[in-house]
Amino acid sequence: MFNVILFGPPGSGKGTQAERLTEKYGLIHLSTGNLLRDEISRHTALGMEARLYIDKGQLVPDDVVIRMVGNYFDKHNDAKGFLFDGFPRTVAQARSLSTLMQQKGSSIGVVVELVVSEDELVRRLLNRGKTSGRSDDTNEEVVRKRYSVYQKETTPVAGYYQEQGILETVEGEGSIDRIFEAICQAIQERNG
Ligand code: B4P
């Protein structure tokens, strides 16, 4: 089992690259953002709770996200590997993921961090907001709040994986194809 984490700020292209990577490597795509939006569209209790946070640009509480990820794992026992997109977003989530991996007798092979400037992120997300129907992409204040939450709560996760020696950094600005190639190279170096 080879597991990859795609890491980076909101709008850095995690979702965009994840689609291609899962196809190329036959991994199961675990996007907590997609799972939460699915819960919201089905009007579940979890979705209703999550929406309160997402609409304000805040993170959904760790216990809610971790439970949801655990359930998703249970449904994919035969996976040959996972691509984590947008998870973990806090050090508490990273520690829970380590425990879940140990229980499966597995580990994270590589964490690929996409680096993009704040101005480019805001531009991309507001642009997506014109067509996506995503309420968290239409308001510049909410978009900037997401970035400040990322800096405060999520960037320490990079340090957590740096200490484990599995963090790779990729320039996330430029063509989608070129960024994809750079990510594949980082994965292949670790997956021999
Ligand atoms: P997510 O769904 O994870 O989404 P994201 O961070 O906004 O976007 P992503 O980085 O995937 O960008 P994308 O490829 O789409 O999170 C949404 C919310 O859910 C969070 O704010 C939070 O509230 C909640 N949440 C999710 N996971 C959570 C967790 N683990 N814990 C707590 N809360 C959680 O790209 C963005 C745009 O850029 C697209 O329009 C794309 O076309 C464009 N783009 C991509 N690559 C480009 C390139 N190279 N050049 C130009 N444009 C590009």
Angle at 179 between CA 176 and CA 184, to 5 degrees: 120
pLDDT of residue 93: 98
Q: Do 109 and 5 form a contact (C-beta atoms < 8 A)?
A: no
pLDDT of residue 134: 87
Phi and psi at residue 158, in whole multiples of 5°? -60, -40
Question: Catalytic residue among 67, 80, 134, 178, which?
Answer: 134
Please indicate whether residue 128, judged by its CB atom, sits closer than 6 Å to ligand 1: yes
Beta bridge partners of 114: 170
Dist. CA 189 → ligand 1 center (Å): 26
pLDDT of residue 106: 92
C-alpha 134/C-alpha 28 separation (Å) is 24
Q: What is the pLDDT along the chain (192 residues), one digit of tens a residue?
A: 899 999 999 999 999 999 999 999 999 999 999 999 999 999 999 999 999 999 999 999 999 999 999 999 899 988 989 999 999 999 999 999 999 999 889 999 999 999 999 999 999 999 999 998 888 999 999 999 999 999 999 999 999 999 999 999 999 999 999 999 999 999 999 887
Please indicate whether residue 13, judged by its CB atom, sits closer than 6 Å to ligand 1: yes
Q: Do 50 and 39 form a contact (C-beta atoms < 8 A)?
A: yes
Question: Catalytic residue among 37, 104, 128, 145, which?
Answer: 128
Question: Catalytic residue among 146, 152, 178, 190, which?
Answer: 146
Tell me whether residue 14 is one of the annotated catalytic residues: yes
